[in-house]
Structure formats: C-alpha cells, structure tokens
C-alpha cells in the first residue's frame, strides 16, 4: 500500500530534486507536473521547475555540475547551463521558464513530492537528518579506529559521545530530542 500521495498532470507540487552525481544534495523546489509515468511502486513525474528555495551561492556550488534525469528512460545528464550566467536565483528560474523550457524539465520520484511547502519542509528535514546522521555514524567509526592517530582521533566511543554532547546537546534539548538515544542509533 502506498504511503505517499499520487499527483496528476498539471498539478503544482513541492519536490526534493536529487541528482545521480550527488544524491546527498537535495534541492527543494516548486514545480508543475508536465507528464507522468505510472509505476506500481513509485510513479515518476516530469516537472517544470517554477521556484528554488536555495540561495544562488548554494546553487552555483552544486546545481550546475550535477547530472539530472531529464527523461524516464535514461540516466542523468548535465543541464546546458553555466553558473557564471546567473547572478540571482530569480534569473535561473526565468531561464528555466523561457520559451525552450522543455529542455529543462526534470524527472522526480513521487516519494519526493508533496502538496504543500510545509510538507516539503518536513520531508526535507527528515531526509537531511538521515543524511547528517549517516555522516556522523561514519565519522564516529573512522575517528575511533584504534590504529588512527591524529587531530581527529578519539580513543573510545564514550569519549566520542562526550565530545558530541558538548557540541550538540543544546540543540537536542531545544528540539526536545534525547541525545543519548540518538547516540545509541549511531552504533
């Protein structure tokens, strides 16, 4: 049974755009569904981008060098755009909606789409939390290796946990989130 909403052609959606070249970088966008491809597990939507929610510096650093899926059948390709041609996100949005806008339609998985910007924010926060946690887990494993010796080496897991708490405990308290339970999930 599906746990996400299915959308139709012509509907406005809020999506997390991902790339083949770096799937851990997510671009929250607003778009309109131009076409759909039904799949019993995970439908795909071809989306015309109307709005980005990141600033131009983030976009220039990541967006222009990534491969995005532009059709249902093929892998990702780079968009024919250059970062130096844009000074503002608004300029990029206008370019993506010029008369040749079909060149810039991108495929998004249905699980990455929501109906409202509030739902998009919640989805983005959950996925970002997962990605950051995955990286913390990797840092914990790498920094506590017994053979490693350097400025990032930590002798024991309890020492890592203490250092983590010093850095992040105030944020966890603010969110009313148990930091000890979280640290247990990093094991």
pLDDT at 38: 87
Do you know the residue count of the chain?
Answer: 187
128 by DSSP, 3-state: which?
helix
> Does any domain span residue 37?
yes
**82 and 127, same domain (yes or no):** no
**45 and 112, same domain (yes or no):** yes
pLDDT at 1: 39
**131 and 75, same domain (yes or no):** no
**28 and 63, same domain (yes or no):** yes
Q: Which residues of the chain have pLDDT under 50?
A: 1-2
Last residue of a domain, one of 98, 118, 138: 118
DSSP assignment letter at 91: H
Last residue of a domain, one of 99, 118, 137: 118
**Closest C-alpha to 127, from 24, 13, 30, 19:** 24
Residue 34's domain comprises 12-118
pLDDT at 72: 87
**96 and 38, same domain (yes or no):** yes
Structural domain count of the chain: 2
**63 and 128, same domain (yes or no):** no
- In the predicted model, what is the mean pLDDT of the chain? 93
Last residue of a domain, one of 90, 118, 146: 118
Angle, alpha carbons 101-13-25 (nearest 5°): 80
- pLDDT tens digits for 75-123? 888 999 999 999 999 999 999 999 999 999 999 999 999 999 999 999 9
pTM (2 d.p.):
0.88
């Amino acid at each position: 049974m599906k746990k996400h909403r299915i959308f139709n052609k012509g509907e406005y959606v809020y999506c997390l755009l991902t790339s083949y070249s770096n799937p851990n970088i997510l671009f929250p966008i607003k778009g309109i569904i131009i076409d759909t491809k039904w799949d019993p597990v995970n439908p795909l939507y071809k989306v015309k981008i109307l709005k980005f929610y990141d600033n131009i510096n983030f976009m220039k650093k990541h967006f222009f060098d990534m491969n995005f899926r532009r059709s249902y059948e093929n892998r990702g390709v780079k968009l024919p755009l250059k970062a130096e041609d844009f000074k503002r996100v608004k300029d990029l949005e206008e370019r993506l909606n010029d008369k040749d806008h079909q060149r810039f339609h991108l495929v998004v998985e249905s699980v990455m789409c929501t109906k409202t910007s509030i739902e998009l924010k919640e989805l983005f926060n959950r996925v970002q939390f997962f990605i950051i946690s995955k990286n913390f887990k990797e840092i914990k494993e790498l920094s506590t290796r017994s053979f490693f010796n350097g400025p990032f080496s930590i002798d024991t897991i309890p020492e890592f946990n203490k250092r983590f708490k010093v850095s992040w405990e105030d944020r966890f308290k603010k969110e009313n989130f148990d930091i000890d339970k979280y640290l247990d999930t990093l094991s």
